[in-house]
């Protein structure tokens, strides 16, 4: 599924000035670098249909985008045993779908990560996905080698939109928020990054999230870096 076109982005020169000189990039994974939302939804629906079919009629994945699997399942209101079975089964199905090649990398993702590495900027992955699912995605999509560090939903007590998620990332890697840029897609992710004091670029979004700079696609971010190098608009 191709990403929807977001609202009109800020002028190129303005964004180039905002990100100029920032050496650390904190990137979300799902919906930002890889087009995984349809596969996450399919895994949730398959797991719910098998384990708790009475809950399927009220399930809407679109309201949960950016949340962890456990947070989504908690919102279903199932008892603890059923909830744990749902989490495990959904994660297992998702990893099977990833292995089957059902999650594509967004256009521009590798170009952006290549550019950050070439420029000597550090790229870190900050994702609410489980460690096992994230490792599967990185391996099967050949993205693992781009990141100086990976923070997953298994590593932090609270997930996005809690600002503590990004604060934990900054603390873990001794990152100064004034030297960093976050790249996110969901309102949950933007809220966490902006709440942690980070300049945040939002891509692949239909509705703008408060505090974020709107970007149409990942290749456009590379063009902003080009402007920063040339010093022109």
71 and 138: one domain? no
224 shares a domain with 119: yes
Other Cβ atoms within 10 Å of 14 Cβ, number: 12
Q: Of 72, 53, 51, 52, nearest to 61 (Cα)?
A: 72
> pLDDT (tens digit, 0 to 9) for every residue of the chain, 233 residues total?
444 444 455 567 888 888 988 999 999 999 999 999 999 999 999 999 999 999 999 899 888 877 889 989 999 999 999 999 999 999 999 999 999 999 999 999 999 999 999 999 999 999 999 999 999 999 999 999 999 999 999 999 888 999 999 999 999 999 999 999 999 999 999 999 999 999 999 999 988 999 999 999 999 999 999 886 554 44
Q: Is 197 helix (H, G, I), strand (E, B) or coil?
A: coil
What's this model's pTM, rounded to 2 decimal places? 0.88
Q: How far apart are alpha carbons 106 and 156 in whole angstroms?
A: 26
Q: Indicate whether 114 belongs to any domain.
A: yes
For residue 19, the enclosing domain spans: 12-35+104-230
CA 10 to chain CA centroid, nearest Å: 21
Query: How many angstroms separate the Cα of 97 from the Cα of each of 36, 39, 91?
Result: 10, 7, 10
Report the alpha-carbon distance of residue 43 to residue 45 in Å, rounded: 5
Residue pLDDT, tens place only, 202-225:
999 988 999 999 999 999 999 999
Residue 2 lies in a domain: no
Which pLDDT score, from 0 to 100, does residue 229 have?
Answer: 54
Do the Cβ atoms of 187 and 31 come closer than 8 Å?
no
State which of 49, 66, 99 marks the end of a domain: 99
| Burial grade of 89 (CB within 10 A; 0-12, 13-18, 19 or more) | middle
Distance in angstroms (rounded) separating the CA atoms of residues 147 and 123: 5
Structure tokens at 110: 């590798």
CATH number at residue 113: 3.40.50.1000
Token digits of residue 183:
């790249």
Q: Is the separation of the CB atoms in 36 and 105 below 8 Å?
A: no
Assess contact for 214 and 205: CB atoms under 8 A.
yes
Q: Are residues 131 and 168 in the same domain?
A: yes
CA–CA separation, 171 vs 155, rounded Å? 13
Last residue of a domain, one of 99, 134, 149: 99
Q: What's the number of domains the chain is made of?
A: 2
Write down the pLDDT at residue 12. 76
Residue 48's nearest CA partner among 39, 57, 38 is 57
> Does residue 115 sit within a domain?
yes
Distance CA 4, CA 160 (A): 22
- Whether 7 is in a domain gets the answer no
- Specify if 192 maps to a domain: yes
The residues assigned a catalytic role are 28
**Interatomic CA distance for residues 222 and 228, integer angstroms:** 10
Which residue, 45, 79, 99, sits at the end of a domain? 99
Residues 30 and 109 in one domain: yes
Residue 160 is assigned to a structural domain of this protein: yes
Do 48 and 124 sit in the same domain of this protein?
Answer: no
């Amino acid at each position: 599924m191709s990403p929807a076109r977001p609202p009109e982005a800020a002028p190129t020169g303005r964004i180039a000035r905002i990100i100029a000189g920032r050496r650390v990039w904190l990137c979300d994974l799902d919906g930002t670098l890889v087009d995984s939302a349809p596969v996450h939804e399919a895994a949730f629906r398959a797991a719910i249909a098998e384990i708790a079919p009475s809950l399927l009629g009220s399930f809407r994945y679109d309201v949960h985008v950016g949340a962890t699997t456990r947070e989504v399942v908690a919102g279903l209101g199932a008892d603890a045993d059923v909830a744990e079975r749902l989490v495990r089964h959904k994660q297992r199905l998702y990893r099977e779908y990833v292995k089957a090649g059902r999650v594509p990398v967004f256009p521009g993702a590798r170009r952006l990560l290549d550019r950050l590495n070439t420029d000597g900027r550090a790229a870190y992955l900050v994702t609410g996905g489980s460690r096992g699912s994230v490792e599967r995605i990185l391996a099967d999509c050949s993205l693992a080698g781009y990141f100086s560090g990976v923070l997953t939903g298994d590593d932090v007590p609270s997930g996005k939109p809690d600002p503590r998620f990004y604060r934990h990332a900054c603390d873990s890697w001794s990152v100064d928020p004034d030297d960093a840029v976050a790249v996110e897609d969901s309102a949950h992710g933007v809220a966490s990054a902006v709440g942690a004091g980070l300049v945040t670029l939002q891509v692949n979004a239909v509705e703008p999230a408060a505090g974020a700079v709107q970007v149409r696609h990942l290749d456009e971010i590379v063009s902003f870096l080009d402007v920063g190098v040339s010093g022109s608009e």
